[in-house]
Structure 1
Amino acid sequence: MAGSETHYTLPLPAFAKPVKLLIVVAPYYKDIADNLVAGARAAIEAVGGTHDLIEVPGALEIPPAIALAARLSNYDGYVALGCVIRGETTHYDTVCNDSSRGLTLLGLQGACLGNGILTVENRTQAEVRADPAGQNKGSGAAEAALHLIALARRWSGTSRPMGFQAGDEIKMAGGTDTV
Structure 2
Amino acid sequence: MAGHESHYILPRPSFDKPVKLLIVVAPYYKDIADNMLAGAKAEIEAAGGTWDLVEVPGALEIPTAISIADRTSNFDGYVALGCVIRGETTHYDTVCNDSSRAIQLMGLQGLCIGNGILTVENRAQAEVRADPADQNKGGGAAAAALHLIALTRKWSAQSKGVGFKAPSEAIQLAGTDNGSTTA
Q: TM-score, normalised by structure 1?
A: 0.89
Q: How far apart, CA to CA, are the structure 1 residues paired with 2:157 and 2:37?
A: 32
How many angstroms apart in 2 are the aligned matches of 1:118 and 1:54?
Answer: 18
Aligned to 2:96: 96
CA distance in 2: counterparts of 1:82 and 1:61, whole angstroms: 10
Structure 1 unpaired stretches of 5+: 169-179
Aligned to 1:140: 140
Aligned-pair distance for 1:20? Answer: 0.2
The TM-score, its normalising length taken from structure 2, stands at: 0.87
Letter of the structure 1 residue corresponding to residue 86 of structure 2: R
CA distance in 1, matches of 2:158, 2:57: 39
Matches within 5 A, 1:17-166: 17-158=17-158
Deviation, 1:87, is 0.2
Q: Residues 3 and 59 (structure 1 numbering): CA distance in 2 closer, same or farther, change over 3 Å?
A: same
Alpha-carbon distance, 1:3 to partner = 1.3
Find the residue that maps to 1:70 and give its secondary structure. Answer: helix
Secondary structure of the equivalent of 1:53?
A: strand
Q: Deviations over 1:120-169 (max 9, x none)?
A: 0000000000000010000000000000000000011447xx99x7589x
Q: Distance in 2 between matches of 1:157 and 1:11?
A: 21
Structure 2 counterpart of 1:46, one-letter code = A
In 1: Cα distance, 2:136 partner to 2:157 partner:
34
Answer with 1-10 or 143-152: which moved more. 1-10
User: Where is the helix percentage greater, Structure 1 or Structure 2?
Assistant: 2
Q: Which amino acid aligns with 1:54?
A: V
The amino acid across from 1:130 in the alignment is A
Following TM superposition, the consecutive aligned residue runs of length 4 or more in structure 1 with deviations greater than 3 angstroms are 165-168
Distance between the aligned counterparts of 1:63 and 1:158, measured in 2?
30
Say which SS state the counterpart of residue 117 (structure 2) adopts.
strand
Match for residue 177 of structure 1? none
Distance 1:6 1:48 in 2: 27
Gaps of 5+ in 2: 171-183
- Equivalent AA in structure 2 for residue 35 of structure 1: N
State the alpha-carbon separation in 2 of the partners of residues 3 and 72 from structure 1.
39
Cα separation, 1, equivalents of 2:128 and 2:44: 21
Higher strand proportion (structure 1 or 2): 1
C-alpha distance in structure 2 between counterparts of 1:133 and 1:95, whole Å:
27
